[in-house]
Amino acid sequence: MIAEFGHYALVLALGLALVQAIVPLWGARTSDATLMNVAGSTALAQFIFAAASFAALTAAYVGSDFSVVNVFENSHSAMPLLYKFTSVWGNHEGSMLLWVLILALFGALVALFGSNLPATLKANALAVQAWIASAFYLFILITSNPFARIAQAPAEGRDLNPILQDIGLAVHPPLLYLGYVGFSISFSFAIAALIDGRIDAAWARWVRPWTLVAWMFLTLGIAMGSYWAYYELGWGGWWFWDPVENASLMPWIAGTALLHSAVVMEKRNALKVWTILLAILAFSLSLLGTFLVRSGVLTSVHTFASDPSRGVFILAILVLFIGGGLALYAWRAPLLKQGGIFAPISREGALVFNNLFLTSACATVFIGTLYPLALEALTGDKISVGAPFFNLTFGPLFVPLLIALPFGPLLAWKRGDLFGAAQRLMWAAALGVVALAATFAIQRGGPVLAPFGVGLAVYVMIGAIIDPIERIGLFRQPFAVAFARARGLPRSAWGTAVAHFAAGMLLFGVIAESQWNSERIVSLKPGESVSVRGYDLTLDNMIQRPGPNYRELVARFSVRRDGAVVDVLEPAKRTFPQRQMSTTEAALMTVGASQLYLSLGDIGSDGAIAVRLYHKPLVLLIWFGCIVMVLGGALSLSDRRLRVGAPKPARHKPSLQPAE
């Protein structure tokens, strides 16, 4: 009964989404507040039903109800409880259900916390949100129904793809989806504003917190996915320029550009047309990512099942929303009045510069990802656009962007003083050069790129915090004064500084990892040793161990530094009989921000096992950078200005007070 309950809840959610897609829009056309109010309650109810449906599927997984096809195909009764939860979204149907659940969640959040929005904007935005939701509910029900049943439940399930049986999977997809789907709100707001024909500085402020939330989750989701690939796939790489990764990177870049251009729109009423376009593009790229990953156009661990009918359906959704959005944009955008003017050297100018380079970088990734696919579809030729292409195009685009990054916050609105800003950045530049020289001296004949990268990273980090340091007068004023001023500084300014600082951290990690990475690939028998960067690893023994639904071959290594044992590493290879697959479990030893990475290969005929050993200096900075960046976003989000405009309850809702 639980499964059927979930199925019916999903059907009802579709019904409610259809109501929400039509009635509020009608209300907005006729300025009927009552009809517009329907948007809020249906959005909430739709979310509740979607959540009930998701909960029902989860219950089926946890109870190993193999009469549900989806559960039978992706679960196993002996799987640890955690993975019974995560396997709900470790497959095509379940992950699409999660997708719409998050879509409904964002709609419900707008309904709950959007009281500062004008009624028409809110009604239209929720209606657009419901169009998207309806399309995806239909997609799920018709082509990928997670509640399909088998009359005779099989005794045992087919198990979850072993690669996905990992804690990383528990967190990565929900975060990524929160980001992907979060951009639907920006999209809905953009379409709503285009329908309404009123787009002004206030719009940018209303959209900004939603974009920021989506951007934060997407950042975390990508970082999480990258870390997961790093330790689970066993190759020691953290970014492969794999099309699936690129599919998530593109909306991120577009979203970052959107965040920055929305600031200009809010402050100066300028770049309106551009900002709306970015809002449409960010979500379009999210949809494109979903299409690429889900349709089976790309084969990867994410392609759970490729079925042409699904691909065609998603393609239709894609064409409908991207095409429809852009068509509406082309029709309405010329009506928008242009706002404030500004000199090229100004805060606005800097943000335009940022947008220019970010969109170029996004276009590069887009071409690098889609060109091979298009070529294969048209001519059948298979070419592979790999890391070299992206390193040669993406890298150079980011260098000027990073050089310009500290300038932005130091320039004034309208007309800035480039020379003044440069003077204030002297410290950052000087420290950057010192770092460059020091790196050169220390590494003596190491990679040429490393000193420049380190210099740039230091420059970005120092440059990012110069602005708040100057504004609070640290080092010039007594500490108490500086502290008081620091508290008075808008949180969004702190957010900017922290997020920009994090960009420097990230760069530092990337440079250190890619330039100083040291690698050993050897075959070892028990008793033999291998060393990397002063660490000596000895293979003590190999043992077989049974797990709950797998068996693993564990190799035990003791790590010695200067003769003393500092740690014991146990990389493993796991074999999952149900799927006849095996996974590698890398062992990591963290020292500061650096890591020792050890993973196992195959056992040779002579009993020696292949071992990949890496020393990755400062590699953790990559993910710490992402986390700090998100913290910056959170700081900015907590700024009171983003919540401004909410009507004070006492003034606007006297009639709702309960009579006590």
Partner 1 sequence: MTLWFLFALMTAAAIFAVLWPLGRRRGLGPRGGSDLAVYRDQLDEIVRDRAAGLIGEAEAEAARVEVSRRLIAAADAAKPDAAPLAGATFRRRAAALAVLIALPALAAALYLKLGSPQLPDQQLASRATTPMQNRTLDTLVAQVEDHLAQNPNDGRGWEVVAPVYMRLGRFDDAVKARRNALRLSGASAAREADLGESLMAAANGVVTDDAKAAFERALAYDPKYSKARFFLGVAAYQDGQGSKAADIWRDMLKDAGPDSPWIGMVREALASVGAPSEPASAQQPASGPSAEDIAASEQMKPEDRNAMVRGMVDRLADRLKRDGSDLEGWLRLMRAYMVLGERDRALSALADARRALGHDTDKLRRLDELVKELKLEG
Question: Residue 539: in which H helix or E strand, if any?
Answer: strand 535-546
Site for partner 1 in 334-353 (CB under 8 A): 340
Binding of partner 1 by 659 (CB under 8 A): no
Q: Provide the CA 551 distance to its chain's centre, in angstroms.
A: 33
Judged by CB under 8 A, the residue of 155, 378, 441, 564 near partner 1 is 155
The nearest distance, CB 597 to partner 1, in angstroms, is: 27
Site for partner 1 in 204-243 (CB under 8 A): 205-206
Cβ proximity to partner 1: between 203 and 398 the closer is 203
Amino acid identity, position 345: I
CA-CA-CA-CA dihedral for 122, 124, 130, 131, to nearest 10: -160
Mark the segment that binds partner 1 (CB under 8 A) among 6-14, 186-194, 456-464, 495-503. Answer: 6-14
Site for partner 1 in 266-325 (CB under 8 A): 268-269, 305-306
The nearest distance, CB 426 to partner 1, in angstroms, is: 22
Rounded distance, CA 215 to CA 252, Å?
A: 7
E strand residue ranges, 403-550? 518-524, 529-532, 535-546
Mark the segment that binds partner 1 (CB under 8 A) among 17-25, 441-449, 453-461, 620-628. Answer: 17-25
Site for partner 1 in 549-568 (CB under 8 A): 551
Q: Provide the CA 3 distance to its chain's centre, in angstroms.
A: 31
Site for partner 1 in 503-532 (CB under 8 A): none
Judged by CB under 8 A, the residue of 21, 57, 64, 432 near partner 1 is 64
The nearest distance, CB 423 to partner 1, in angstroms, is: 17
Dihedral sign from CA coordinates of 472, 476, 479, 484? negative
Identify the bridge partners of residue 367 per DSSP, sorted by sequence position. Answer: none
The nearest distance, CB 604 to partner 1, in angstroms, is: 16
Binding residue count for partner 1, defined by CB under 8 A: 84
Amino acid identity, position 413: W
Judged by CB under 8 A, the residue of 12, 125, 193, 263 near partner 1 is 12
List all residues 6 or more positions away from 208 whose beta carbon is below 8 Å from its beta carbon: 259, 262, 263, 266, 642
The nearest distance, CB 6 to partner 1, in angstroms, is: 10
The nearest distance, CB 540 to partner 1, in angstroms, is: 16
Residue 287 half-sphere exposure, CB side, CA atoms within 13 Å? 26
What is the CB neighbour count within 10 angstroms for residue 398? 19
Identify the bridge partners of residue 615 per DSSP, sorted by sequence position. Answer: 518, 596
Strand pairing report for 564-569 and 518-524: unpaired
Cβ proximity to partner 1: between 7 and 172 the closer is 7
Binding of partner 1 by 645 (CB under 8 A): yes
Site for partner 1 in 175-204 (CB under 8 A): 198, 200-203
Site for partner 1 in 387-446 (CB under 8 A): 412-414
The nearest distance, CB 299 to partner 1, in angstroms, is: 9
Identify the bridge partners of residue 531 per DSSP, sorted by sequence position. Answer: 536
Cβ proximity to partner 1: between 1 and 378 the closer is 1
Task: Determine whether 632 is exposed, middle or buried from the number of CB atoms within 10 Å of its CB (0-12, 13-18, 19+).
Answer: buried
Dihedral sign from CA coordinates of 512, 514, 515, 518? positive
DSSP 266-302: HHHS-SHHHHHHHHHHHHHHHHHHHHHHHSSSS-STT
Mark the segment that binds partner 1 (CB under 8 A) among 149-157, 376-384, 385-393, 617-625. Answer: 149-157
Amino acid identity, position 409: P
Judged by CB under 8 A, the residue of 485, 520, 561, 579 near partner 1 is 485
Binding of partner 1 by 540 (CB under 8 A): no
Cβ proximity to partner 1: between 147 and 313 the closer is 147
Binding of partner 1 by 494 (CB under 8 A): no
Judged by CB under 8 A, the residue of 42, 290, 584, 594 near partner 1 is 42
- Which one, of 429, 410, 416, 425, lies nearest residue 471 by Cα? 410
Contact, 523 vs 608, CB < 8 A?
yes
Mark the segment that binds partner 1 (CB under 8 A) among 22-30, 97-105, 280-288, 380-388. Answer: 22-30
- Which one, of 282, 286, 283, 259, lies nearest residue 271 by Cα? 259
Binding of partner 1 by 23 (CB under 8 A): yes
- Which one, of 227, 76, 236, lies nearest residue 161 by Cα? 76
Site for partner 1 in 107-126 (CB under 8 A): 114-120, 122
Mark the segment that binds partner 1 (CB under 8 A) among 148-156, 427-435, 454-462, 609-617. Answer: 148-156
Binding of partner 1 by 492 (CB under 8 A): no
The nearest distance, CB 605 to partner 1, in angstroms, is: 13
